[in-house]
Chains A and B, each alone.
Chain A
């Protein structure tokens, strides 16, 4: 019986070895391990064996069974892998064909710049304030130390709706409104972005509608050095730590002293080139210490409170930062322009 089992084992393993399909293996399983198979038969004949032989042969028969089953299993796994591999080979694709496009839009360049500036100042504890685009003459001019007949009103010819209403010429009225709402007592720390309008004929450098973003800080003991520190922090983050800044005296009716801020020219690094008109510097924003008349009109005691304000034009910043050569690009919405700056 021992020999018989050994023989069966050899025979079965031989067949498994040469099997070339899953079905073939199934047949082998049925043939050798099935209920009517030869090993079962051997086991059935065990009754004729002696007590001593029975466990030995039984053990052997089980081992043979297991050996054959393992061989079938191993072969089957091999064959399945082979089949899968073949199938996957057939499923292969040309990965260089174009993708199914995912529609992705993006923000307007001006929005990116405004939000970047907003976020920089939010980080410094500023809040964002908004106000009406159709403004009263009072808030647009008078509350900002520009009484009727003031020569500086010439500087910004305006679109009037009625004698008392106009398209705001700057976002400063939002500052006047915010200050006014604090009853002359609480500090103000705000940024106001928005659309503004001036009587200009649209061309490469002028637009009757454009964007401004202004900032204001009013509190007790605000110093001009604070303005310098805040603007320096802003400029380094916005334009890069390697850029130098300089403040120089200027004039605005709503600030005294007034400043203009230049940053060192990116193109020439300050040596002077055509971009900076040979000066090495590029003007980036205006500001100053809030004029006492403005503080007083908003209800603050200017001997107790002081403040600083500044303002800049996102279009100008975009034109400097990205080299946009015509301000009209911001408003014609050419898709080729819009897409260019989605990563801005």
Chain B
């Protein structure tokens, strides 16, 4: 809502405040002032001049040589505007004048003729292109004939006005009018304002004799009033009115349209004027449109209607979409003499529906949608009649033809001072409370500390106690509320175990050298089901998609974090950031339904993606690219953090390198996977060798047990033994390790591979694996013989299970 300060000042005296102070007060009491800006900035030295003669420039076809009386002198000015003519009153920038953009006017010569100033268009004076009336859009502005010569054009054109832009919240539609703003400001600054009574002189004919009104759907249209005005002369509206409309961001058109718009801005009540002679009947019937019915609206668009829309008809065909836009056929034109002026109440939902369906949001529809003041509908019609009489030469018929089932009753809300204070934390007295209601102009009756407050219909947003709580608080001043802390029983705040674990996992990854990312949960269908961990892959057959996505790139919910992580790597690599180690902890979405009907389960996972160099210490000639074992190390470290141990099993997974991928298990259950991304997919993302991991954190957190006992620190030395085994090359180190641990239990505490060999010293198809075994009994020193026995058992076991031979 754009509020002209000059206009507002007409209703309520705000001259005691600077614009900044006023903005601050309005903001603090309830309506945010978004900006305060002058209509046109930096214009000086522009006066009203009278063009006494206008002849063609001797040396230029398109220029005119004008003599302009500016009061104190007559200036010769060369003017190129196509509409300049003798006798006009125009805006003249005299030498020394300054126009927007610090453009200084000087005496000059144009094509050999002296030009001592400039005749200005509105645009040149800083008026926004869209607010310039059409007839002046291509040329200079012409003042009404009675404008005083030599007067300051800046104030004549209201260019010295300030525009306050209010950011209205949906509940404060009462401030979508100058009257509403004036009531609000009056309450805020403790000033006085009441909307003045309308003053219409009517002729001795009755509107009812020229029209009847019928309403088909009283719920959608509880009130329809039609005023009739005869002998209207369509022409320009007075300059002050045009100025105010311009200030409000509405382009002036002609006096009839301008008056309906002016009252719209003044009262907040949309009105519509039909040409009586073009309406085609003496009956106004409002009804629901028929499906497929058509109307050509004011903007010359043919629109197809349906039964959701309410139309104003002449009994047969529609002449307006109620509250949204009038029809072209009965539009007021230059030759219009008799007008039907509509002042109606249309139900908010009906207007909202129609304005949405037709993509038409106008000053009118936006007010109807929020609900207009039922007690101001008819008054607005009268106000327009008053202005049509004054400024369009109209003769107003008595009364109006109407249909009326409108509820105009005022609601009551009861508040008790003690309850208000209890809820606000204040100590407001009955007297202060009464004063707040006086400022708001709410009538009340008081019984003890109980106020029965009558809410004026202009404030349709107030219906319950809490609404009154807000009214009291905002007029009392949010600033004046004390600072207190809640008094309830104290509780220990904190993180749940899983929340703590999540933080610990993140801290671990970061300590391990990974950067945290946050990527989008909504992704492309293809990516939603890519790189999905085996334990949830079934759900990938039916990913959850949006009903109406905005783009294919964000249409499905991810089942894996990895594809978007690869996207992030790709983004960086394309920018020559090639050594990357990323992780993300986030949810993936799992549904077991083909057609989603219930919420998918949301599973917390941790994923990582690494590419480029892992270590690089150039001057020592050390450089190592990321490989499988780097990623495995990170996963193992996480296991250590959580006290969990994992096993790895080579696997072939879609989109993964078939020879460098492992599924990861914890206690037999799959909890994720790790490995190299398939080279084909790497290529699609523009990546070199890239390794990933993906873990089911929820499963890991379930297995986590807090360490709550003390284990004895061994006081006795351990014994270490090495063995080198020769096995078939497809026997995995992990399998042998498991066998050793099992057969060596309980004395073998640790098994480490320290050498892997395959080559000329061995038979083809064989490899040698060397292990270092650590034997320990925490309570005593081991005897050689015990170690020997355990060692023998191990050798037997690996031979039985893996055909492993001791390397000679």
Contact = CB atoms under 8 A, between A and B. Distances in A.
B448 interface: no
Interface of A: 97-98, 100-101, 103-108, 110-111, 115, 118, 121-128, 130, 132-136, 149, 151-152, 155, 159-163, 165, 167, 187, 189, 195, 197, 199, 201, 208-209, 217, 219-226, 228-230, 232-233, 246-251, 256-260, 277-279, 289, 291-292, 306, 330-336, 338-339, 342
B425 A225 contact: yes
A159 B510 contact: no
A167 B596 CA distance: 13
B619 A97 contact: yes
Interface stretch (B273-281, B570-578, B759-767): B570-578
A229 B597 CA distance: 44
A127 B500 CA distance: 12
Interface residues of B, number: 102
Nearest to B608: A105
A332 B511 CA distance: 22
A118 B496 CA distance: 12
Interface in B459-509: 464-467, 469-470, 473-474, 478-479, 481-496, 499, 503, 506, 509
A161 B466 contact: no
A250 B517 contact: no
A204 to B, nearest CB: 17
Given A160-B547, A219-B488, A208 B425 contact: no
Given A223-B484, A334-B575, A208 B522 contact: yes
28 contacts: A98-B619, A101-B616, A103-B614, A111-B516, A127-B491, A127-B493, A128-B499, A149-B349, A159-B522, A159-B546, A160-B546, A223-B422, A224-B473, A225-B426, A226-B425, A229-B486, A247-B478, A249-B28, A249-B470, A256-B466, A256-B467, A258-B169, A279-B23, A292-B466, A333-B568, A333-B572, A333-B582, A334-B577
A229 B483 contact: yes
Nearest to B499: A128
B702 interface: no
B352 A249 contact: no
A306 B486 CA distance: 11
B557 A248 contact: no
A105 B495 CA distance: 24
B493 A124 contact: yes
B515 A106 contact: yes
A232 B617 CA distance: 49
B360 interface: no
Q: Is the interface of A mostly helix, strand, loop or mixed?
A: mixed
B547 A125 contact: no
Given A197-B522, A225-B426, A230-B486, A107 B602 contact: no
Contacts of A107: 506, 510, 516
The 4 closest A-B pairs by CB, nearest first: A225-B425, A103-B513, A251-B169, A257-B470
Contact of A105 (B369, B492, B509, B600): B509
Nearest to B548: A160
Interface string B350-380: 0010000000000000000110000000000
A289 B478 contact: no
A118 B495 CA distance: 9
A228 B599 CA distance: 37
A333 B518 contact: yes
A159 B520 CA distance: 14
Contacts of B473: 224, 249, 257
A251 B172 contact: yes
A202 B336 CA distance: 50
Interface string B510-541: 11111111111110000000000000000000
A134 B518 contact: no
B690 interface: no
Contacts of B511: 104-105
Contacts of B517: 108, 333, 338
B516 A224 contact: no
B527 to A, nearest CB: 15
A108 B516 contact: yes
A226 B482 CA distance: 8
A278 B165 CA distance: 13
Given A98-B617, A101-B617, A167-B522, A208 B554 contact: yes
Contacts of B618: 98
A198 to B, nearest CB: 10
Contacts of A111: 506, 516, 518
B617 A100 contact: yes
A224 B550 contact: no
Contacts of A249: 28-31, 470, 473-474, 478
